[in-house]
Every structure is written in structure tokens, then in C-alpha cells.
Amino acid sequence: MALQQGISELSSGEEHVVTAEGVPRYLNRDVAWLDFNRRVLALASDEAIPVLERARSLAYSAHNLDDFFQVRGAVLAQNVETGLSDRSPDGLTPMEQRELFRERSDDFARHQDTVYTESVAPALDAVGIHIFDYHQLGYGDRAHLDSYFAQQLFPVLTPLAVDPAHPFPYISSMSLNLAVVVADPLSREQHVARVKVPPALPRFAVLPDGDRFVTLEQVISAHLDALFPGMDIITHHPFRLTRGADFQLDSDEDDLLEAVRDVLKRRRLSPLVVRLEIDERMSDEVRDLLVRELEMDERDVHVVHAPLDLAALFELTALDRPDLKYAPWLPTIPAALVPQDAGFDIFAAVRAGDVLVHHPYEDFDASAVAFIEQAASDPSVLAIKQTLYRTSGKTSPIIRALIGAAETGKQVVALVELTARFDEQANISWAEALEQAGVHVIYGMVGVKTHAKVSLAVRSEGGRINRYCHVSTGNYNPDTARSYEDIALLTCDNEICTDLSELFNALSGYSRDVQYKSVIVAPQGLRAAIVNLIHREARPGGRIVFKLNGLIDPEVIDALYEASEAGADIDLIVRGMCTLNPAVSAAPERLRIRSLVGRYLEHSRVFRFGTAADADHLISSADMMPRNLDRRVEVAVPVVQSDLRARLDEIIDLALQDDTLAWEFDGQAWTRVPTGAGVNAQTALQERAARRNRSGG
């Protein structure tokens, strides 16, 4: 295939310029991220979307913003504090980056507040879901909450005084708190105390009818006299703290497991405050006290007009109100994987031809889980090798199957990526459970995350050893497979399976300069391969389509600029960050950027080079970002079977035709695509999955 021609040559990096003729060559990555989250937030105001789904979008936006502050806010603050002088690709100093971050994130937070107060809260009220102030309630409702406080809340609350005998307490990151000012009724001397809102309890107290709620901090505030008996309650204010959570592993640490545990400890006790959210009524005296005791910058204080921690709206989306949610979707089973009888053999199905699975339209359990479970129970399977980046909760079927396989004597290898951010503790627990069952657990390498999503089964068949593999763009997580759009390939192609065997050997042992025949692996050569494939299409009639989550790598962006100017027609479908500026290209009309934001999170990475029968198709775990290309183990796999390439073309074409979920970017702003034909790519893919299921193909 022509793909090999693109992989065979290595490209050389050149010095990147920041601007071209006064136009920014690369846009700011933090602004690009906020633009993405603004598209998520726009769903919350869309009256065409069911109300609880709008609340869910607002909760996602708030959760995303929390992560943004914990990670990027911390990185930028540390860069300034350590005196780093390197400019970003968009030409800003660390101080300029941090100030831009503060300005734009503060603006976004105010917009998020407005969406809640002017759009989501009134929409919830209109359908009978009410969030009340405690003092608005009648006697019976208050009595119900009084009982709830006495029985459920009071026993777990601990007021912490702040005075010379009681140092200011450590405030944990992302915790919701009350700053309470009390006065001695005799001396009238005032004191400040902190009360932490229990994170283990639901954020909303439910009134007896089940559709009215009061925030937990309001219930606590109404009963402060029980926590400070005999004292006068002068005032009380909620506040919420965000600390930096981006810690690097110690490269000198010999034990990666201990190094990750150290990172978790440092994260819990992080001294770096990157955001303080306060309610609009907080007094200047209390605000000044918090800023002083937290040793933070006044510019990182955010005054919030909506309830603090809008991610708590996820609780409301669990209400049993199907009339206020999207119609349920039951994933279909790919025709090749539909069991014909009790003895269905997934390996026989894969031998008959590669199988492409598209989540959430097609079933994760019937494909990825079934593959691992049959491999675990099949006596002909000798070994299973698996990467695990993020998986599901306490009952992961993938891990349960791997444990079962090891207990029956199979050779099982699991690479558990301990450094998957915010999943470290869960992955440590899984790794320990796997080790106890006899699984050979690999923890990865310091400085390089294993982000590839790969399973490999080695099977004895008629005296020969054959291999089967499952390669995905998404995690081995049944929970997210219901809401994340991803693509997986089941194959027994000898070259692909041999390459993946080599990859596992490289990850578990010692190797240098492994040569792969079919798959492309980062950090070894994925950037070079992608850049050379772009160069191959850099001509009149050339065609490139990327569908991915993030595009911020300067070298890849430069190659795309050059290709568009040489005559290639380029479409970029970027869910999240995009720092490419089409205005830089001399042919911006050939460099089109769009983003789809809808019911499902567009997560798959698909790369198509060329047209019609000559096109090369890759699916990958990698975005075009320096972290993926330089600091992660990623895999890109060619899809060569003509019917499966047609499936990928269908996915791409629908994304390009969409005029319901789609946004377009012109280098200045993201704007919604005007609705004409009314194409919703996600709805269309549901319909086509159902149609294929009915027709058996």
C-alpha cells in the first residue's frame, strides 16, 4: 500500500516561527481549550435538548473547568514561579500565558454562572425540578431537613476554629467549605471557623416529594447553632478551593509504584492554590483572611453567583425522568459477532475477516469484553497481553476475565498505566489485584505513559500458534463506551499481530530500535509517519482528513499549512483543542476546521490520506499533540479491508455533512454551522447501526 511509502521516510524538524505577516501562526492552547469547553457549555442553553441533558452538559463543563485549573493552572503557575523563560508556540512568555489564562478562564466562569442562573435553573423549574433556599420552605419541609441534619449530617461534621490556639487548617483541593464567623455573646469577640461539607454525602438534600432540593451547604448553614452552641452566628459563606494537581514523577525513583504513590500524596497535600471560588456575599474581612492564610494571589479569587461546584448537577441527571432525557439507545451487535448458537467462537468470526466496531452505536460487551472473556476461558488460548489505561469501577469485566485467565494457568500480561491522571489510585488497586492472581503486571516507564489500547490473544490451532488482537481508539471501560464515540478493530492479520507482540515485548523487557512492519508506534515514529503522509498529499488533488480530539503539535500543523498551499484539500474534525490558524495559510479555503459536540463525546482518532481506492486509513489512540507524540506509547493501525474502509468513510462523511451538532472555525471564532439539511451525524449513525443489525450486515 501507499501507506508504507509515507512511513519509510523520516522528516526533519525545522525552527518554528511564531507569526507570519503579523498573524499568529499557532493559537494559544489554553484559549483553544476554553473555546472547546464553551462549545460543551452551549449545549446547556440549547432549548432543543432535553432539560436534564442540558444540566448534564453544564455539569460536564464545570467538571472540565475544574480539571483545567488543577492541571494547566498549576503548570502555568509553576512555570512562572520557577523562572522559566521559554516562550510558548504562540510566542508568549510564561507570565503572559498565565495572565491570559486568568483573564479568559475568569470570563468563562462568569459565562458558566450565567448559563446556570438564566438558562438551566429556569428550565429545571419549568419541568418541576426545583432547587430551593432553606428559608423559602414551609414548616413541614424545614422539619424534614431538620431531621435529616440531626440524623445524617451532624454526626459527620467537624467545626475547626481558627485562632492562636488553632492554626488555620489545611483545606483540601476541590472541597466545599463554609467560613463561619461567630461571636462570644458576652465579650462580643469574633472568631472564624471552617466547616467542611462532607464529600461522601449527596450534594443535594431531597425533600419528601422527590423533585425539590436544597444544597447541603444550605442545610448546614441553617443549623450552625448546633455546631457552635452558645455562640452568636454573625455570618457564613461557602467557598471552594482548587489546588495544583500536576506533579511530575521523580526520574531518579527506582520503584515506579512508590513514585506514583508519592505523587498522590503530594497532590493531596499540594501547597499551590490556583483558584478560590467564593460566594458573592462574602465579606472583605473573610475574603482577605482566606487569601492571606492560603498564601495565594488575589487575582486567583473567583466570585461565583451560581451555587459552587456546578458539577454536582450530575446528581440531578440520575432522576428517573425519562421524559427529560435523550431516548435510550441500546447498542447493536456487529453482524459478524452475533452468536448463532451457544458455541459461538469469536476467533472464528475474526478469522473470517477483520471486524470494525463503532461505539457507542455497537456493543462494547459483545466485542471487547467478549474477546477477552473467550480468550480467558478458551483452553486453546495460551497467553493474553493487555494494556489498561482507564477502566471501569469495582466490577470491571475485563480485569475479572484477566484474573480468571491467570488463575487457570494462562500466561497473562497486563500493562497497567499507573500515571493515568486522576485514575492513579484505582489503577494501583487493580494492579495489586492482578498481581495477587498471578498476572504479570507491568507498570510502564517513568516519563512515558502507555496510552495505546491493545489486547492480544495467543492461541494454539491445529499445531500452529496464531494471534488475534483488539486495537481501539478508546479505553477498556464499559461505562464510557456507552457515551464516548470510539472505533475498535478485531483482526488476526499476521503483520499487525506480530508488530503488537513486538510492542508488548518492548514494553515488558529491554529493546532498542524495534522495527514495525504495519503498525506505527509513538514515540518512535508516529509524528514522522503522519508528517510524511501529509507531504505525500501536498499537491493539487491531494486529500487529507483528520478526525481527532486535539491538534496542537507545531510540526504537524506546519505540514498541514504547506499541504494546503501546495493544493491539497484538507478537512480537520477536531473535538477539543485546535491551535492551527487557517488564516496563516495562503489557501485557507482548502484548510477547513470543524467540531462536533453532541450527545456522545467524539473520541475516535481517524486519519485518511488520499481519495477513493487509493486512500490510506489509520485508526489510533493518539491525538496530534506533543504529549502523545513524544511522551506516550501510542499505536496507529492501518485499516485495509475495503468494507471496513467504507465504514470509516461513512463516519467521516457524516461528520463533514453534519449541520446540527457542527461548529466551524475560521481562525477568529468558532460558530455554529447553519442548519440546512438537518444532518445529525450521531443520530444518523444510530439509525445506520440499527439498519445493519436488522439486515444482518
Catalytic sites, residue numbers: 451
For 565-615, give the DSSP string.
HTT-EEEEEESS-B-B-GGGSS-GGGEEEEEE-SSSEE--EEEEESSGGG-
Among left, alpha and beta (phi > 0; psi -120 to 50; other), residue 269 is: alpha
Q: Quick check: 373 and 454 in contact, CB under 8 A?
A: no
Q: Quick check: 30 and 101 in contact, CB under 8 A?
A: yes
The SS3 call for residue 61 is: helix
CA angle 236, 237, 243 (to 5 degrees): 135
Calpha distance 50→523 (Å, rounded): 43
- 491, three cell numbers: 483482526
CA angle 61, 67, 71 (to 5 degrees): 145
CB-hemisphere CA count at 13 Å for 546? 26
Calpha distance 142→45 (Å, rounded): 32
Calpha distance 637→621 (Å, rounded): 9
Backbone torsions φ then ψ of 11, nearest 5 degrees: -95, 150
Could you tell me which of 546, 615, 559 has the C-alpha nearest to residue 585? 559
The SS3 call for residue 510 is: coil
